[in-house]
């Protein structure tokens, strides 16, 4: 009798704890290709999981680089991939979740099927809120949900911006870094006015920085002058280990934890955790 009672108390405290959790959803977005979106999503998420947070990565890019980067190339969960999650009406989206090798880090994978979703979603009800509908019931299971958006401002990225609390914008430190950013900022403004008024900028992240070039330094100065305190203190250097890790299907922060690239992403995770105090 007594034992039963104590057991009941334990499980009810546990469920209270679970209900109190509400993930912060961060969309990693920039319509420019090859600026480090996927590398940032993988390593930020992994570093936060290693710091003890529960993190869900969602691959929102038909290229599937995020999925292969965590060793889940062409993998499907019980319910399929993010393509099925976006196009079907499913009550419990947890059937799309896969575990990864990293404790606390889960994944909703993508493959090239997702290319079709952008077209199919056009005729579906609430086409801009499909991803939000997938994520909302999962918020109570995680501290962070990190979305890897494709290099375009199409319906998939739009779904990412509508589902997110904040956008993390990686900027490649090169001459045209700021080019096209006005389009992203304009899209964010439209999303705020019509679909997601609370959408914030998580931060602007300087990536592939090469301190040896004047150009890198100049771009970094210009970006800080423009975005001010929205720019993360952490700068991601150009680092060969960040380029190598994806071919092994292992996040760089694990593949070579001592590399400068890995250390920079751990510092970024600490900055994000420090800002949100979760
Ligand atoms: N800091 C870095 N140093 C060296 N190589 C990097 C760095 N960041 C990313 N890379 C490499 O550069 C390439 C592009 O990076 P990534 O795939 O993260 O960009 P992306 O913005 O997601 O690209 P896409 O727009 O195609 O989705 C990849 O091969 C990646 O491994
Ligand atoms: Mg990518």
140-168 pLDDT, tens digit per residue, is 999 999 999 999 999 999 999 999 999 99
Bridge partners of residue 108, in order along the sequence: 58
What CA–CA distance (Å, rounded) separates 64 from 43? 16
Q: At 239, which CATH number?
A: 3.40.50.300
What's residue 20's pLDDT? 66
Q: Count the domains in the chain.
A: 1
* pLDDT tens, residue by residue, 192-245: 999 999 999 999 999 999 988 888 888 889 899 989 999 999 999 999 999 999
Bridge partners of residue 24, in order along the sequence: 144
What's residue 212's pLDDT? 86
Q: Which among 34, 146, 173, 259 is the best mutation to test ligand 1's pocket, defined by most ligand atoms within 8 Å of the CB? A: 34
Q: Which among 243, 249, 251, 253 is the best mutation to test ligand 1's pocket, defined by most ligand atoms within 8 Å of the CB? A: 243
Kindly report the backbone phi and psi dihedral angles of residue 7, in degrees, each rounded to the nearest multiple of 5, phi listed first.
-65, -45
Q: Which among 28, 30, 35, 38 is the best mutation to test ligand 1's pocket, defined by most ligand atoms within 8 Å of the CB? A: 38
Residue 195 in domain = yes
User: For residue 167, which of 46, 273, 28 has the smallest C-alpha distance?
Assistant: 28
Report the nearest-CA residue for atom 31 of ligand 1.
243
What's residue 7's pLDDT? 46
Residue 197 in domain = yes
SS3 of the chain: helix, strand, coil, percent, to 5 = 50, 15, 35
Q: 255-261 — which CB contacts under 8 Å span 24+ positions?
A: 261/43, 261/236, 261/237
Could you identify the atom of ligand 1 that is nearest to the CA of residue 243?
A: 31
Residue 74 in domain = yes
Ligand 1 proximal residues by C-beta, below 6 Å: 33-39, 61, 63, 65, 151, 207-208, 236, 238-239, 242-243, 246, 261
Whole-prediction pTM value? 0.93
Residue 7 in domain = no
Residue 16 in domain = no
Residue 4 in domain = no
Which run of H or of E encompasses 56? strand 55-59
Per-residue pLDDT of the chain (278 residues; tens, 9 = 90+): 344 444 444 444 554 544 568 999 999 999 999 999 999 999 999 999 999 999 999 999 999 999 999 999 999 999 999 999 999 988 999 999 999 999 999 999 999 999 999 999 999 999 999 999 999 999 999 999 999 999 999 999 999 999 999 999 999 988 777 888 889 999 999 999 999 999 999 999 999 999 888 888 888 898 999 899 999 999 999 999 999 999 999 999 999 999 999 999 999 999 999 987 65
What CA–CA distance (Å, rounded) separates 246 from 165? 27
Ligand nearest to the CA of 210: 1
Which domain does 39 fall in, by range? 28-276
Could you identify the atom of ligand 1 that is nearest to the CA of residue 40?
A: 18
Report the nearest-CA residue for atom 6 of ligand 1.
243
Residue 236 in domain = yes
Report the nearest-CA residue for atom 5 of ligand 1.
243
Burial annotation 117-132 (CB, 10 A radius, 16+ → b, else e): bbeebeeeeebbbbbb
Residue 18 in domain = no
């Amino acid at each position: 009798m007594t034992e039963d009672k104590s057991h009941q108390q334990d499980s009810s405290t546990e469920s209270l704890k679970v209900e109190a959790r509400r993930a912060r959803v961060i969309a990693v977005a920039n319509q420019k290709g090859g600026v480090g979106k996927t590398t940032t999503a993988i390593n930020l998420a992994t570093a936060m999981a290693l710091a003890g947070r529960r993190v869900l990565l969602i691959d929102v890019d038909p290229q599937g680089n995020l999925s292969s980067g965590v060793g889940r190339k062409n993998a499907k969960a019980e319910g399929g991939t993010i393509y099925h999650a976006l196009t079907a009406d499913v009550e419990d989206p947890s059937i799309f979740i896969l575990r990864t090798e990293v404790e606390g880090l889960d994944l909703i994978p993508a493959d090239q099927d997702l290319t079709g979703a952008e077209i199919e979603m056009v005729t579906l009800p609430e086409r801009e809120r499909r991803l939000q509908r997938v994520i909302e019931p999962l918020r109570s299971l995680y501290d962070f949900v990190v979305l890897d958006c494709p290099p375009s401002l199409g319906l998939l990225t739009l779904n990412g911006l509508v589902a997110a609390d904040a956008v993390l914008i990686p900027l490649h430190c090169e001459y045209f870094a700021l080019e096209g950013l006005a389009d992203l900022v304009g899209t964010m403004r439209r999303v705020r006015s019509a679909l997601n008024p609370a959408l914030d900028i998580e931060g602007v992240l300087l990536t592939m920085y090469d301190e040896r070039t004047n150009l890198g330094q100049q771009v970094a100065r210009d970006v800080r002058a423009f975005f001010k305190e929205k720019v993360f203190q952490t700068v991601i250097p150009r680092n060969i280990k960040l380029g190598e890790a994806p071919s092994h299907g292992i996040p760089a922060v694990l593949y070579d934890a001592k590399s400068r690239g890995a250390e920079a992403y751990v510092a970024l995770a600490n900055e994000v955790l420090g800002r949100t105090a979760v």
